[in-house]
Amino acid sequence: MANMIPISTVTVGSGGASSILFSNIPQTYTDLVVKASCKTTRDSTIVLLTLQVNGSTAMTWRSLISEGTTVGSYLQSAYGATTNGIGGMPGTISATTNTFGAYEVYLPNYASNAPKSFSAESAFEGNISGSYLWTLSGLITSSAPITSISVLPETSYTLSQYSSATLYGIRKY
């Protein structure tokens, strides 16, 4: 049976933060998992939460996004490598004042010397503006073992206070 062992947890303080970076990740686990609860200071309903591995965005991904709004529900797919979005993140409009998005990224075989696949899923309820559910699969094109992981809002937006992320190591014994 696999064991899921917390490596480190970070909670953003009162000033906000541009990113959360887990560095010097031990190479002693089989897989990694990142669980996060985030929102952004941007005055908007939704901003992408993105992923960087070893300081790089060199990855491709395909996502399935389900969006429900007051006028209907939508399903769309996307493919790309520019934004590396792992999910939508609520902004600071009044309807989402206390709303944080939930995110999970699973990175198997992260210490290998080969390109690595990963999966992610996330969801948040935007109250009056809509709710979003993302599932995606991706490929990290670099062969280097993963030693650092960042989660950060798209472009230059900021993570709000109380956003948090935890890095777990998976041992399959």
Partner 1 sequence: MTDTKIVVDCATGETTVVTLTAEEIAQREADAAAFAEAEAERVAAAEALAALKASARAKLVAGTPLTEEEAATLVL
DSSP string, 29-75: SSEEEEEEEE-BSSSSSEEEEEEEETTB--EEEEEEEEEEETTEEEE
Kindly write out the interface string for residues 16-45 of this chain, putting x where it contacts partner 1 by CB under 8 A and - elsewhere: xxxxxxxxxxx-------------------
State whether residue 156 is helix, strand or coil.
Answer: coil
Rounded to the nearest whole angstrom, what is the least distance from the CB of residue 7 to partner 1 in the complex?
5
Strand partners, 131: 68, 125
**Cα separation, 142 vs 139, whole angstroms:** 9
Of 91-99, 115-123, 133-141, 150-158: span binding partner 1 (CB under 8 A): 150-158
Rounded to the nearest whole angstrom, what is the least distance from the CB of residue 9 to partner 1 in the complex?
8
Rounded to the nearest whole angstrom, what is the least distance from the CB of residue 62 to partner 1 in the complex?
17
Nearer to partner 1, 82 or 98 (CB): 82
Residues that bind partner 1 (CB under 8 A): 7-8, 10, 12-13, 15-26, 82-83, 150, 152, 154-156, 158, 167
